[in-house]
């Protein structure tokens, strides 16, 4: 379905994929989803776009490796699982992207690295170089040294918010956030059968935050709340985000084609501009 969403001028895109889209419920990696993601992102690079992937899944992949079906509460266990799973995940990405001739790289970040101007500049320069070379950097939080995203009692960030920070700092035109749900609803559809999909949102209000609940699966972490906080960060920097279902990551092609998929978070003036001149800056 074509809409008034015009993505023709999107030249740099950040894609965030959540654990629930990368793992089966039985704890095995969803190879079909990873393969489709690799194929699709390579397709975008081949079209001349610059792509950054923010991928969760380290802890989930680690749980699968060790044979756990329930996420342990102890931080040190989660960190050890992330350490196991991150290399597993990158091995699979490496294989799948290589099958399509696409080079990737690993970038593990912590919030303090991005807060501190000098290390932030190093990260920025490295990312620019990678993108300039046509490489897809695959970003995750460096879970072994960072606890802020793992322990949601003291939470500042998580990969939803990390992806927003990456999109803001890299001046991406669009952040595509893939989850296990079609978008942002008026309530959690797993609890509220009347919940309706919200197609477009210009601001994240207290009312929207009230409609956001927690994670839906054993593997997900932040739920809708962290996605809305990410959207608020994006809107504050006059950028765009689309929250969509990652069950079939090739949906990214449809999104880039301007189809009305998921929930579009877009500043109001940009949305009006789209109706006028059909362009996105
Ligand atoms: N208003 C809402 N709209 C959509 N999903 C919601 C809402 N509130 C809570 N959720 C839950 O958030 C889940 C997505 O977050 P999460 O489980 O953390 O996934 P991911 O691993 O993709 O980050 C949904 O499956 C749903 O259960
Ligand atoms: N860094 C953690 C991801 C934490 C996270 O934000 O997970 P998710 O809610 O699935 O995006 C990992 O790789 O397991």
> What's the domain range around 189?
12-277
* Closest listed residue to residue 199, CA positions, set 251, 262, 252, 254: 262
Q: Is 6 part of any domain?
A: no
246 lines ligand 2 (CB under 6 A): no
Dist CA 230 CA 204 (whole Å): 10
Give me the number of domains the chain comprises. Answer: 1
Q: Is 169 part of any domain?
A: yes
Helix axes 159-169, 223-236, angle to 10 degrees: 10
Task: Specify the CATH number for the domain of residue 152.
Answer: 3.40.1160.10
Q: Whose CA is nearest to atom 3 of ligand 2?
A: 56
Q: Is 1 part of any domain?
A: no
pLDDT tens-place values along the chain, 281 residues long = 556 688 999 999 999 999 989 999 888 999 999 999 999 999 999 999 999 999 999 999 999 999 998 889 888 899 999 999 999 999 999 999 999 999 999 999 988 888 889 999 999 999 999 999 999 999 999 988 876 554 443 333 489 999 999 999 999 999 999 999 999 999 999 999 999 999 999 999 999 999 987 655 555 556 899 999 999 999 999 999 999 999 999 999 999 999 999 999 999 998 887 765 443 43
Radius of gyration of the chain (CA): 18
Dist CA 267 CA 262 (whole Å): 16
Q: Which two tokens stand for residue 253?
A: 């092609």
pTM over 0.80: yes
Q: Is 95 part of any domain?
A: yes
Dist CA 160 CA 223 (whole Å): 9
Q: Are 183 and 253 in contact (CB under 8 A)?
A: no
| Residue 152 CB coordination number (10 Å) | 16
User: How close is the Cα of 150 to the center of ligand 1, in Å?
Assistant: 17
Q: Is 3 part of any domain?
A: no
Ligand nearest to the CA of 179: 1
Question: Any known ligand binding at 119?
Answer: no
Q: Is 2 part of any domain?
A: no
Q: Is 199 part of any domain?
A: yes
Angle formed at CA 176 by CA 247 and CA 165, multiple of 5 degrees:
130
* Structure-token match 């839906």, residue found: 216
ipTM reported for the complex, 2 dp:
0.97
């Amino acid at each position: 379905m074509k809409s008034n969403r015009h993505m023709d001028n999107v030249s740099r895109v950040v894609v965030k994929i959540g654990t629930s889209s990368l793992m089966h419920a039985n704890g095995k990696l969803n190879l079909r989803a990873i393969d489709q993601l690799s194929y699709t992102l390579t397709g975008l690079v081949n079209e001349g776009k610059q792509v950054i992937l923010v991928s969760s899944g380290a802890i989930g992949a680690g749980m699968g490796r060790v044979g756990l079906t329930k996420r342990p509460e102890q931080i040190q266990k989660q960190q050890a699982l992330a350490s196991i799973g991150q290399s597993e995940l990158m091995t699979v990405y490496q294989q799948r992207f290589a099958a399509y001739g696409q080079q990737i790289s690993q970038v593990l970040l912590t919030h303090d690295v991005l807060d501190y101007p000098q290390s932030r500049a190093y990260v920025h320069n490295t990312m620019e170089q990678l993108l300039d070379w046509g490489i897809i950097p695959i970003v995750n939080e460096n879970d072994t040294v960072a606890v802020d995203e793992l322990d949601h009692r003291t939470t500042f960030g998580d990969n939803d918010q990390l992806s927003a920070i990456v999109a803001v700092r890299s001046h991406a035109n669009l952040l595509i956030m893939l989850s296990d749900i079609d978008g942002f609803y008026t309530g959690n559809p797993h609890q509220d059968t009347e919940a309706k999909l919200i197609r477009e949102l210009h601001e994240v209000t207290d009312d929207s935050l009230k409609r956001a609940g927690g994670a839906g699966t054993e593997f997900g972490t932040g739920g809708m709340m962290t996605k809305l906080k990410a959207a608020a960060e994006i809107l504050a920097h006059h950028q765009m985000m689309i929250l969509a279902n990652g069950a079939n990551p090739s949906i990214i092609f449809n999104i880039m084609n301007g189809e009305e998929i998921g929930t579009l978070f877009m500043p109001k003036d940009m949305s009006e501009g789209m109706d006028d001149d059909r362009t996105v800056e």
